[in-house]
Amino acid sequence: MLRKIVVALVLLALAAGGGAYYYLKTRQQLPAGFVSANGRIEATEIDIATKYAGRVAEVMVEEGDFVQAGQVVAQMDVEETAAALRTAQAQAQQAEKALEQASHVAEQRSSELDLAVKELQRSETLLSRGFATAQTVDQQRTARFTAQAALSAAQSSLAANEAAVRAAQAEADRLARQVADGTLKAPKAGRILYRLAEPGEVLAAGGKALTMLDLSDVYMTVFLPAGLAGKLALGAEARMLLEPLPDTAIPGRISFVSARAQFTPKQVETQTERERMVFRVKIRIPSQLVSDHIDMVKTGVTGMAYVRIDPAAPWPAWLQSRLTEAVAK
């Protein structure tokens, strides 16, 4: 038994030594015009959260599931809000009926004013010819003023009812949007990283139900000292060798170089690198390549990144693969 354990430990040591030798050998063979650094694959994390406080009714996905953009991933309990929405819609209908009635009243008052104006004009004409009395004209003038006041009141009522309709419709729209927000959807295509809530749990406004990885933005993060980071150009070509795929060169391009230096993070283990300030650099993997191998994309995978500083420098043969050639085409 002891002998088997010793043999297993020796094999593990040889495997680890072989991996270390492989990386050391590739670094030694790196020609001029290139820089290298160790890093890890990452992707943008997106929190899928509820906009309003409420109880979780259902969660439709599990950790590790791949989801499409717009796919429903969770449902909040919105029965109370839905009832309020139905009430608001009924009130909006009542307001529309009241508006219709006010419109008819305004039309009636407008017709009454037109009649009063015409009768006054006829009475004034008859008065000038001696066929009407001043009292009759005064009565017609009073009738016209009364009709004008009634029309103004009807128009004010009409405007108030129009405002009431807009307010009722706005309230119904607000509640409808709140009901719709109770259905949580994936904003982009990606993979569920964490399931943070279960049915029956009550979440506050902004409470996280799920966290997903945006697989349209997959990249490797590396840290380079100022002397090397200053030579990088956005869009510069890069290759990545991941530990699970040491013989496959994955293409990428520099998409981000931090404007500020920082202390070397813990994942940079080389002593000489840890003694300097470094700049964070992101190497983005082509979205089409990620899409073609979406089932194999995983974050947290470590590896080595090689960046071409000199555009004229040819890539060494060991950083070429069918994968990089396919993307180049």
Predicted confidence (pLDDT) per residue in 262-305, tens digit: 665 655 555 455 446 788 899 998 888 887 777 777 788 889 99
Instruction: Give the mean model confidence (pLDDT) for residues 125-153.
Output: 86
Question: pLDDT (tens digit, 9 = 90+) per residue, 90-129?
Answer: 999 999 999 999 999 989 989 988 998 888 888 888 878 8
Contact 240, 26 (CB under 8 A): no
Q: Tokens 């499409």 appear where?
A: 68
Please indicate, yes or no, whether residues 59 and 199 belong to a single structural domain of this protein. Answer: yes
Residue ending a domain, among 137, 172, 203, is 203
- Largest Cα separation within the chain, whole Å, is 139
DSSP E strand boundaries for the chain: 34-49, 54-59, 66-67, 72-76, 183-185, 190-195, 202-203, 208-225, 237-242, 245-257, 262-263, 277-284, 302-308
Please indicate, yes or no, whether residues 74 and 104 belong to a single structural domain of this protein. Answer: no
Within a domain: residue 9?
no
Within a domain: residue 244?
yes
Question: pLDDT (tens digit, 9 = 90+) per residue, 171-225?
Answer: 999 999 999 999 999 998 889 999 999 999 999 999 999 999 988 889 999 988 8
pLDDT of residue 277: 74
pTM > 0.85: no
pLDDT of residue 22: 45
Mean pLDDT of the chain: 82
**What's 187's domain CATH number?**
2.40.50.100
Tokens, residue 47: 């929190």
Question: pLDDT (tens digit, 9 = 90+) per residue, 37-70?
Answer: 889 999 889 999 999 999 999 999 999 899 999 9
By percentage, how much of the chain surpasses pLDDT 90? 38
Please indicate, yes or no, whether residues 71 and 92 belong to a single structural domain of this protein. Answer: no
The boundaries of the domain holding residue 69 are 49-78+183-203
Within a domain: residue 25?
no
Tokens, residue 293: 């191998």
Please indicate, yes or no, whether residues 246 and 149 belong to a single structural domain of this protein. Answer: no
Question: pLDDT (tens digit, 9 = 90+) per residue, 61-83?
Answer: 999 899 999 999 999 999 999 99
Within a domain: residue 146?
yes
Contact 101, 162 (CB under 8 A): no
pLDDT of residue 132: 77
Within a domain: residue 133?
yes
Domain count, the chain: 3
Residue 301 burial (CB count, 10 A): 16
Pairing state of beta strands 72-76 and 54-59? Answer: antiparallel
Q: Tokens 């009241």 appear where?
A: 98
